[in-house]
Amino acid sequence: MYVIVGLGNPGREYENTRHNIGFHVIETLAQQEKISVLEKRHKAIIGKGIVAGQKCILAKPQTFMNLSGESVRALIDYYKADAASELIIISDDISLGVGKIRIRKKGSAGGHNGLKNIIANLGHDTFMRVRMGVGEKPQGWDLADYVLGRFSAEEREIMEEAADHAADAIRMMIERGPDMAMNRYN
């Protein structure tokens, strides 16, 4: 069973921010696959369904970004999923241009506090991830202000298309493996 987790912060004030692009990708995938993501369990809002012919849990942690690992650990433990081969994390990435996608099978947190906390809670960094480019922080801006800011109208359009590509990439990761998805989407 795959556990697909989009990172973000709960609450209306964080909706549509750069940091919540993980939530947006989960919502996009859920809509495309007709999976209802409404159940509150494991410190997350989850939905259960089939993606690319496999049973999946779609999750949006409700722990706030910096404690995302608590929810991920609870999900992995409860569903007895193998983090290295059945966990997919979707996060924002300021080192990628707006709308760019980078898929990895393992690696460092790259300064992302949500990924840092997941690595700390799992005890390793071997899990698949889809990093969504939200653009580099403008010079002189505070990082928190930037990632908690909203996309411009033009960027929103790009990110809508990127969310669709990310959903396609996740289906490919499940169906044909992460290497095939990396070749296609990176």
Q: Which residues contact 59 (CB under 8 A, 6 or more apart)?
A: 3, 4, 5, 6, 26, 37, 42, 44, 45, 46, 47, 71, 75
Composition of the chain by helix, strand, coil, percent to 5: 45, 25, 30
Catalytic residue, candidates 19, 24, 42, 112: 19
Residues 45, 42: Cα–Cα separation, whole Å: 8
Residues 134, 25: Cα–Cα separation, whole Å: 13
| Residue 19 annotated in active site | yes
For residue 105, count CB atoms less than 10 angstroms from its CB and return exposed for 0-12, middle for 13-18, buried for 19 or more. middle
Separation in Å, CA 51 to CA 21, 35, 82, 88, 115: 20, 9, 17, 13, 24
Residues 182, 5: Cα–Cα separation, whole Å: 18
Which strand (E) or helix (H) includes residue 71? helix 68-79
Query: Which of the residues are catalytic?
Result: 19
